[in-house]
Each structure stands twice: as structure tokens, then as C-alpha cells.
Amino acid sequence: MTNPPVRTGGCLCGGVRYTVEGPLRGVIACHCSQCRRTSGHFVAATAAPNDQLRLNTAETLTWFRSSESAERGFCRRCGGNLFWRRVGSDTTSILAGTLDPPTHLTLERHIFVADKSDYYTIEADVPHSAGH
């Protein structure tokens, strides 16, 4: 029997550190207006079941209710954008850039490309959709 993969990550200042034990979903790039505004570009995120995500250090973690159905976790000290989850979901999206390398992940697809900004293009070799 092999041990499940263990990955670690956190924010820029170290106020939030986490461990994920188990497989992660491939990375999805979201171009919706909320993701653009919280990240300054678009969000590239993987995901894991909540019971596989452990917060090792969370002294600066703050959750912001960004819509009626979702909330975003970020570091209130350095501003690092770390998590996204639907309210009541058993899964949390983890911003891929907050994972310590090597991640062994790949970009699977782009979503909400109809909302993307005009200063960049999306490579044609990765699947994408206008909405979710």
C-alpha cells in the first residue's frame, strides 16, 4: 500500500500554512470578474476535499463572503489569496500558486473566458468554456 501524496503551501508572509493529504484535482483557470478582482489577473486553482486539507498555521486567515454562495480565504497580513469554496461544500479550491513546488499538477481547462480581460489571450491547446 502506498501513502497518499502530501503537499504543503501557504501565503507570502507565512501567516497561513497548510497541508493537503491526498490527490488534488487538476488546475482550472477561472476568468470571472470576481476572480480577476481578487487576484489581479485570473485564478488558477486546484481542489481537495475539506477533510484532506489541514491548516497548520492560520493566525492571519480571513474568510470573505464574496457572493451569496461562495467565500474566499486570504491572509489579512500579506493579502495572499489562498482558498475559494462554495458555502456548505465539502471541497475547497486551493490557489495553485500557493502550493510549494513541485506540484505535479497540470492546467486542465479555462472557465468563464467570456469574462476575461482584453490584455491577454488563452492558449488554444487547453480546453475552455464561456461559462462554468
Q: Which fold has domain 6-115?
A: 2.170.150
Percent of the chain with pLDDT over 70: 97
- Give the number of other Cβ atoms within 10 Å of residue 37's Cβ: 9
Q: Mean pLDDT in the chain?
A: 93
DSSP H or E segment with residue 35 = helix 33-39
- Global pTM reads 0.90
Q: What is the DSSP string of 39-60?
A: HSS-EEEEEEEGGGEEEEEETT
Q: Is the pLDDT of residue 2 over 70?
A: no
Q: For the segment 66-116, what is each residue's pLDDT rounded down to a tens digit?
A: 999 999 999 999 999 999 999 999 999 999 999 999 999 999 999 999 999
Per-domain boundaries in the chain: 6-115
Q: Is the pLDDT of residue 45 over 70?
A: yes
Task: Tell me what the mean pLDDT of segment 121-132 comes to.
Answer: 76
pLDDT at residue 15 in the model: 98
User: Contacts from 4-8 at CB under 8 Å and sequence distance 24+?
Assistant: 5/104, 7/99, 7/100, 7/103, 8/56, 8/99, 8/100
Give every strand in the sheet of 61-65, ordered side by side. Answer: 61-65, 70-75, 81-86, 91-95, 43-49, 27-30, 107-111
pLDDT at residue 126 in the model: 75
**Cβ-based burial of 104 (10 A; exposed 0-12, middle 13-18, buried ≥19):** exposed
